[in-house]
């Protein structure tokens, strides 16, 4: 009987120890965007890297509606870290623009981690709409502007403000990337306009249909869109198939952000591993060639996370 009790106690002890080991894992949820976009692809690669390097972490990716949704997820503590576009990040943190009427200080818990890459606004028109030579020619056309509430849709709303338009002026399509690609193949839309990185899979597929051509954005649109965090940008020739000339547009910074309550040591090792494993990340997506220490603080829309600051000071990025 005593022997059975001892064995039982040993089993219970082992179970308790296993439970402690399991509970010691820190769970990190990474907000991305739609499954066809750069954020999702990069997020999957980063999660894989971090899970391999750090047994004490369990990083999972979360598909979202993009940056405008991600600031809410950070504020509501539904993710620990997230990709953001710098402009909506800046506006939400400072309660300006479309966030002016939101709860004051709701977004003050967001912290900057790293610049990732420039994110230009891409504008393509289809061969069956040769009259589209300017954004103003989109009036009355079928236009994919991104998912409702996404960074792309919010950028389009700002463009409409400059034009003095409303959604009554176009036939809008609120779609994920893959749906927009299918609509191009099926000749169901006349134009696509939303931000995506040079060489992105979505616009590569759109251009590979042979139906699309890039269109320069008007100077007054670029001027109006670059008064806060965005900046004038020239998409280099050859960034996409069939795009043999530079394209005039604007861009924002795609950044990585975290909640302020994520421990310093966790953010420190995540940032350190990103910059020490850039070759791996470039294999995940070549756009990460822009993620270099010299540009680590580009597009910073709000205060730096202490864990990131510690690493940047060690590397001489911050003196």
DSSP 188-227: --SEEEEE--TT-HHHHHHHHTT-EEE-PPPHHHHHHHTS
The pLDDT-based confidence of 289 (bands split at 50, 70, 90) is confident
Domain of residue 69 covers: 19-117+254-314
As for how many domains the chain has, the answer is 2
**CA–CA gap between residue 176 and residue 147 (Å, rounded):** 6
Q: How far is residue 20 CA from its own chain's centroid? A: 35
* Residue 244 sits in the same domain as residue 159: yes
H or E stretch at 152: helix 151-163
Q: Is residue 245 part of a domain?
A: yes
* Residue 126 sits in the same domain as residue 243: yes
The pLDDT-based confidence of 14 (bands split at 50, 70, 90) is low
**Predicted confidence (pLDDT) at residue 23 exceeds the cutoff of 70:** no
Place of tokens 């994110």: 119
* Residue 272 sits in the same domain as residue 240: no
H or E stretch at 183: helix 177-185
The pLDDT-based confidence of 38 (bands split at 50, 70, 90) is confident
* Residue 136 sits in the same domain as residue 185: yes
**Predicted confidence (pLDDT) at residue 281 exceeds the cutoff of 90:** yes
- How many CB atoms are located within 10 Å of the residue 216 CB? 18
The residue that leads in pLDDT, 1 or 85, is 85
**Predicted confidence (pLDDT) at residue 309 exceeds the cutoff of 70:** yes
User: Strands (DSSP E) along the chain, which ranges?
Assistant: 26-31, 57-62, 81-85, 110-126, 142-144, 171-173, 191-195, 212-214, 231-235, 247-259
pLDDT at 57: 98
* Residue 97 sits in the same domain as residue 179: no
**Final residue belonging to a domain, choices 225, 252, 279:** 252
- Strands 247-259 and 110-126 turn out to be antiparallel
* Residue 229 sits in the same domain as residue 243: yes
**Predicted confidence (pLDDT) at residue 308 exceeds the cutoff of 50:** yes
The pLDDT-based confidence of 21 (bands split at 50, 70, 90) is very low
- Strands 191-195 and 212-214 turn out to be unpaired
Q: Which residues have C-beta within 8 Å of that of residue 168, sequence separation ≥ 6?
A: none
Alpha carbon separation from 79 to 67, 110, 129, 167, 190 (Å, rounded): 13, 11, 42, 32, 36
**Final residue belonging to a domain, choices 252, 271, 287:** 252
Tell me if 42 sits within 8 A of 116, measured CB to CB.
Answer: yes
pLDDT at 20: 44
Tell me if 203 sits within 8 A of 145, measured CB to CB.
Answer: no
73 - beta bridge partners?
none
**CA–CA gap between residue 150 and residue 312 (Å, rounded):** 31
126 - beta bridge partners?
212
Place of tokens 């806060």: 228
**Predicted confidence (pLDDT) at residue 11 exceeds the cutoff of 80:** no
**Predicted confidence (pLDDT) at residue 28 exceeds the cutoff of 60:** yes
Tell me if 254 sits within 8 A of 117, measured CB to CB.
Answer: yes
**Predicted confidence (pLDDT) at residue 17 exceeds the cutoff of 60:** no
**Predicted confidence (pLDDT) at residue 34 exceeds the cutoff of 90:** no
The pLDDT-based confidence of 197 (bands split at 50, 70, 90) is confident
**CA–CA gap between residue 182 and residue 164 (Å, rounded):** 30
Across 252-273, average pLDDT: 97
pLDDT in tens, 77-114: 999 999 999 988 999 999 998 899 999 899 999 999 99
**Predicted confidence (pLDDT) at residue 49 exceeds the cutoff of 90:** yes
**CATH number reported for the structural domain that contains residue 299 in this entry:** 3.40.190.10
- Mean pLDDT, the chain, rounded, equals 91
Local structure of 103: helix, strand or coil: coil
pLDDT at 240: 95
* Residue 129 sits in the same domain as residue 218: yes
**Final residue belonging to a domain, choices 227, 252, 277:** 252
Tell me if 53 sits within 8 A of 70, measured CB to CB.
Answer: no
* Residue 126 sits in the same domain as residue 223: yes
Place of tokens 């750069």: 38
Q: Is residue 3 part of a domain?
A: no
Tell me if 197 sits within 8 A of 118, measured CB to CB.
Answer: yes
The residue that leads in pLDDT, 175 or 137, is 137
* Residue 261 sits in the same domain as residue 142: no
**Predicted confidence (pLDDT) at residue 59 exceeds the cutoff of 70:** yes
Q: How far is residue 56 CA from its own chain's centroid? A: 26
């Amino acid at each position: 009987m005593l022997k059975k009790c001892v064995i039982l106690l040993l089993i219970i002890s082992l179970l308790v120890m296993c439970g402690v080991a399991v509970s010691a894992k820190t769970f990190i949820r990474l907000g991305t965007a739609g499954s066809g976009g750069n954020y999702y692809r990069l997020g999957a690669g980063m999660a894989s890297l971090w899970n391999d390097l750090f047994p004490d972490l369990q990083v999972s990716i979360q598909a979202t509606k993009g940056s405008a949704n991600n600031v809410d997820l950070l504020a509501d503590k539904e993710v620990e870290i997230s990709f953001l576009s710098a402009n909506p990040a800046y506006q939400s943190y400072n309660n300006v623009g479309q966030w002016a009427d939101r709860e004051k200080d709701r977004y003050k818990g967001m912290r900057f981690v790293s610049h990732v890459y420039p994110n230009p606004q891409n504008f393509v028109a289809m061969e069956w709409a040769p009259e589209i030579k300017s954004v103003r020619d989109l009036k009355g056309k079928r236009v994919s502007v991104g998912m409702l509430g996404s960074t792309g849709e919010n950028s389009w709303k700002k463009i409409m403000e400059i034009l003095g338009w409303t959604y009554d002026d176009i036939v809008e399509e609120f779609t994920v990337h893959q749906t927009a690609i299918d609509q191009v193949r099926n000749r169901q839309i006349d134009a696509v306009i939303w931000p995506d990185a040079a060489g992105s899979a979505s616009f590569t597929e759109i251009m590979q249909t042979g139906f699309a051509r890039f269109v320069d954005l008007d100077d007054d649109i670029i001027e109006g869109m670059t008064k806060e965090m965005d900046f004038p940008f020239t998409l280099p020739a050859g960034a996409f198939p069939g795009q043999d000339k530079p394209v005039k547009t604007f861009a924002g910074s795609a950044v990585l952000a975290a909640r302020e309550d994520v421990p310093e040591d966790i953010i420190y090792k995540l940032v350190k591993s990103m910059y020490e494993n850039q070759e791996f990340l470039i294999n995940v997506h070549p756009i990460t060639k822009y993620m270099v220490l010299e540009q680590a603080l580009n597009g910073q829309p709000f205060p730096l996370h202490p864990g990131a600051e510690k690493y940047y000071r060690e590397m001489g990025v911050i003196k």
